[in-house]
Homo-oligomer: A and B are copies of this chain.
């Protein structure tokens, strides 16, 4: 007997959430992300999310606030409706990833400062120099690579 699509999807959502949990995003936040990526229709209220994901209203509220804040989810209110609707903002994923890349390269600022402190003692600076060169290269190349990113089709 085969498993239904929706069942598989919720397993997928769980994997999805688990991945981002390792990156520091709360489990429930990851579940919201995964769910909003594949749900039909695309918009959901906080109450619906709470029920679907079996999470408390408080947790949903906190995590939605966070996700809206980083831009991955957009909130939409409509006249005549009390409940706000939330949906994925696919476009924001580019900035989300960009932040990760720049975070990696940002170590260069540190190694650079360190090199300055050790100026005048090249022998001692040698270890740092190796690391600094790597990060220096990254902070050149990563932004450059990012510029070459293909525009997403309409």
Contacts and interface: CB of A to CB of B under 8 A. Distances in A.
Interface in A106-133: 106-107, 110, 113-114, 117-118, 124-125, 127-128, 130-131, 133
Nearest to A131: B93
23 contacts: A8-B117, A12-B110, A12-B114, A12-B117, A19-B107, A23-B103, A24-B24, A37-B128, A37-B131, A38-B117, A38-B118, A38-B124, A38-B125, A38-B128, A40-B124, A90-B130, A93-B131, A130-B152, A133-B150, A137-B149, A137-B150, A141-B148, A142-B145
A73 to B, nearest CB: 11
Say whether chain A's binding surface is mostly helix, strand, loop, or mixed.
helix
Interface stretch (A51-59, A60-68, A94-102): A94-102
B15 A110 contact: yes
Given A90-B130, A137-B150, A38 B114 contact: yes
Interface size class of chain A, counting residues whose CB lies under 8 Å from the partner chain: 35 or more
Contacts of A138: 97
Interface string A3-23: 001001100100110010001
